[in-house]
Structure 1
């Protein structure tokens, strides 16, 4: 068990075995691939972000290896958290977890704690997958992102609310956007459909009761394109 906290890099000597550095890079790359696969599981993603997430542990490993000192490591860790804070303005919680875990992999592998990096990463990814599967089987699978586009009418919002109350157990109003110089309104909701209502029934109800209405129902909200 004590080997878990043993580094493969010998800090007592200045010489470094290139094979050990290569091993650390390969381990971080393998863990980065596992992380990116877990991130892609049941989510919308961009190819650029997945590639970056795969290579980030390798780059972090190399940075930590090059600084190779307590002061340098502290500065590198500070830069890591600054990067995460910078991405927090445009990222969801899933992306932040993935970036943070990629940094942890790079820090552990760059410090030489390969066994610790492997065991902790695989354990966290396993918990991630279990929670993802558990949530997909819960009542949250009836939650939808609803977008309604209607022409500007008096009391149209009240009419929509009444219809949603009939078919949904929970309604969260998200936003309203004007289209074509205010001639149309786009309303966004997060709703939980009742057990006896499906997507087609809800869409047909709204279309039949509201004039000039376009409806879009999705299981996931749209991802931002900047990731």
Structure 2
């Protein structure tokens, strides 16, 4: 009775059935892989609890799906079609988060095929590279501190077209007016520039010059952020 409980209703003599011990072994290996991925991603990275839980369980889910459709072409095509209909209704992820999800899916797929050693080896190698790149600050440029976003408020009677070009050309290598917005019931303009500073140490000097030009109204300089839609 117990043995028949783990057999499919539509199994035939030509169908190979996974033993319970092999099933549990693959599940345990996939859970271990998920934990390795989650702990590796936490190293010098800001992350949410929900993403870590997802990353820890994703290899197991993929592993089970692959084990169930292993050798069955029709079921494999059906599962692929079902996955193609899934839409993730969440905020766009970064390139690093998407990469970790693909790593989890890849490791789970290898484990589901029964190659547990290769799955663990693949996971350890990739997590070691992730930790190494984070430790070396791979991809971080020294000029990142020069990219700034300038927000400045001016009165409505001041023509914002080229009003700050002289000052900005003195302290920046490039500047671009990316946004103009009215504020305070239309009595003021709020301008947003993307700047590349010549020298980060002269930022305060530039702000003082801008304050003299805009009548000592609000001026703010912040780190220039990459658009959320970009990877």
> TM-score with structure 2 length normalisation?
0.65
Task: Work out the CA distance in 2 between the residues paired with 1:143 and 1:159.
Answer: 22
Any conservation in 2 of the 1:160–1:206 contact (CA below 8 Å)? no
Q: Aligned match of 2:222 in 203, 209, 217? A: 217
CA deviations over 1:16-61 (Å, ceiling 9, x no partner): 133x322322322232233233434444433322222222222222
Query: Where in structure 2 are there 5+ consecutive unaligned residues?
Result: 1-13
Cα deviation for residue 126 of structure 1 reads: 2.8
Cα deviation for residue 130 of structure 1 reads: 3.5
TM-align CA RMSD: 3.9
User: Which of the pair is proportionally richer in helix?
Assistant: 1
Query: Is the counterpart of residue 185 in structure 1 residue 185 in structure 2?
Result: no
Query: Where in structure 1 are there 5+ consecutive unaligned residues?
Result: 1-10
Task: Work out the CA distance in 1 between the residues paired with 2:184 and 2:122.
Answer: 53
Q: Computing the radius of gyration over CA atoms, which structure comes out larger, 1 or 2?
A: 2
- The alignment partner of 1:14 has SS state of coil
- The alignment partner of 1:135 has SS state of coil
Cα deviation for residue 111 of structure 1 reads: 1.9
**1:1-227 to 2 correspondences below 5 Å:** 13-18=16-21, 20-68=22-70, 69-77=72-80, 79-80=82-83, 83=86, 90-132=92-134, 133-135=136-138, 138-142=141-145, 144=147, 146=149, 148=151, 150-151=153-154, 153=156, 154-156=158-160, 158-159=162-163, 163-169=167-173, 183-185=188-190, 187=192, 189=194, 192-194=196-198, 196-198=199-201, 201-202=202-203, 205-206=206-207, 209-210=210-211, 211-218=216-223
> Structure 1 residues 146, 26: closer, same or farther in 2, change over 3 A?
farther
Cα deviation for residue 82 of structure 1 reads: 5.6
